[in-house]
Amino acid sequence: MTKLTLKPVDTFFFKNHHVTEAGEDTVMESMFPPRPNTIYGALRAAYIHTHTTFDEFVRETDEHVKRWMGTPNQRGEFRLQYCALTYKQDILLPLPLDYQVIEEKKSLKAYPLLLANDEKPSSLQGKWRLASTRREKTKSSQHQYVSLQEWKHAILHEAPISSLISLSKLVVREEKVGIRLDIGSRTAQERLLYRVMQGRFRDDGALAVYIGNGPDFSKVKFARIGGENRPWIIQQSEETFTLWDEKEKKQLAEKIAQTKVAKIIFLSPAIFESGSRPRNFDGEKVTLPNGVTVKWLTAAIGRPELYGGWDIVRHRPKPRKWMVPAGSVIYVEVEEEDISKLLFVANGMHFTDEGAEEGFGFAVIASASKSEEEL
C-alpha cells in the first residue's frame, strides 16, 4: 500500500458548504481537517497535471491516466483508503464520540460511556443506551485527537484517555484580510473587503494519505489543495495502515464472543442519506459492506453536517447530502457465526452510502462491554 505525506508550503484554507460573498461583513470560516473528497480530487488533479494535459484528459487520449483517474464523467481505479492527521510523525485518530470529555485540574480527560439496559419509556427504539457514571460538566468530544498507540490501548481496555490533543494544539488560526478584484480591470472593487481564517500547522504537522489502489505518485512533487490553490509537498513511501495486530484481533474476537457486542468506529466522515442512519438500516438491523448483517443497539453519532461542493464538469453546485463526523460510533449485536467475518474488516472498511472510493466512511471494528443493570 502507498502512503503519501502531504505538507503545506504556506497557510491553508478549506471552505465548508456555506455560500460566501465578498463584502465588508463577510468572514469566511475555515474548516479542518479537509474532507476526504478534497484530498482525493487534489491528488487526482495533480497526477493528471504531471502525466498529461487537462485537454488530453478531456479527450481521453492517455490510456494510463484514463485507467487510474478516469474521465471527466467517470471514476478511474484510483481509490483513497484513509486520510489521517499526523503530529511530530505520530498518527492521530479522532476521539470516539462514546467518550465523555471532562475538565480536571485545567486539563481534559475522556472517560468511556457504558452500554446499559434502559427499560424506561422512551421515543427511542431499542433498550440500550450509553450512560455515564460521572456528574462533572462535560466538554465537547468533537475535534479531539489521540495518538495511535494510546487510542488502541484505551479502546482495547475501555480505559480513560488522559492525553487528548485538541485541534487548536495542532493548527494556528490566522486572519487574512483581502479585497475582491474586478477580473476585467484588475482593480479593487469598492466595499468588497473580506476576511478569511487561514490555518497553519504548529511544529511538524502533516496529512498522511493511505491509498487503497492507485498508481505510482513518485513523479508528483506537489498538489494544489484547498482555497487559493495553495501548494502542498508530496512525499511517497510504502506503508500500510494497520490498526490491530493478530494478537490484538484475537483479544477482540474473544471479547466479542463473550459479549456478542461490537463497535464500529468511524475514522473519517460518512455520507448517510437518512441523516444519522445509513441507507440500508431497516429500523432494527443494518448490513455492513462485507455482507454481514448485525443488530443495531445504539450509537454515539455527532450532529450530521451538510456535504456538498462544486461540480466542475456541469458548472453548478453538487446536491447537498448528510454527513456524519469522524469519531461517530455504532454499537451492534453480532451472531457468533459472524464474528470471524466481522473481524476480517477490523482494520478498516468503507461504511458509507457513497464516496467510498474517496475515503468516506472509513471505519474500524472494536469490542465492547455491556451492563444488564437498568439505568
Nearest-CA neighbor of 97 among 302, 264, 269? Answer: 302
Render pLDDT for 264-289 as a digit per residue (tens, 0 to 9): 999 999 999 888 999 999 989 999 99
The residue behind cell 498508481 is: 215
Residue 375's pLDDT band (cuts 50, 70, 90): very low
State the alpha helices, DSSP H only, in 123-175: 148-157, 167-170
**Rounded distance between C-alpha atoms, residue 77 and residue 96, angstroms:** 31
DSSP 336-366: GGGHHHHHTTTT-EE-SSS-GGGTTTEEEEE
Q: Between vectors from CA 18 to CA 14 and to CA 20, what angle results, nearest 5°? A: 85
**All cell numbers assigned to 97:** 464520540
Query: How high is the mean pLDDT of the chain?
Result: 89
Tell me what the mean pLDDT of segment 218-235 comes to.
93
In this structure, the chain runs to a length of: 375
Q: Is 309 helix (H, G, I), strand (E, B) or coil?
A: coil
Give the bridge partners for 366, in sequence order: 263
**Rounded distance between C-alpha atoms, residue 363 and residue 30, angstroms:** 25
pLDDT at 14: 87
Nearest-CA neighbor of 156 among 168, 148, 164, 167? Answer: 148
Q: How many CB atoms lie within 10 A of CB 96?
A: 26
The residue behind cell 465492547 is: 368
pLDDT at 249: 96
Exposed/middle/buried for residue 129 (C-beta within 10 Å: 0-12, 13-18, 19+): middle
Render pLDDT for 143-195 as a digit per residue (tens, 0 to 9): 899 999 999 999 999 999 999 999 988 999 888 777 666 666 666 666 666 67
The DSSP 8-state label assigned to residue 116 in this structure reads E
Tell me what the mean pLDDT of segment 28-36 comes to.
84
**All cell numbers assigned to 371:** 451492563
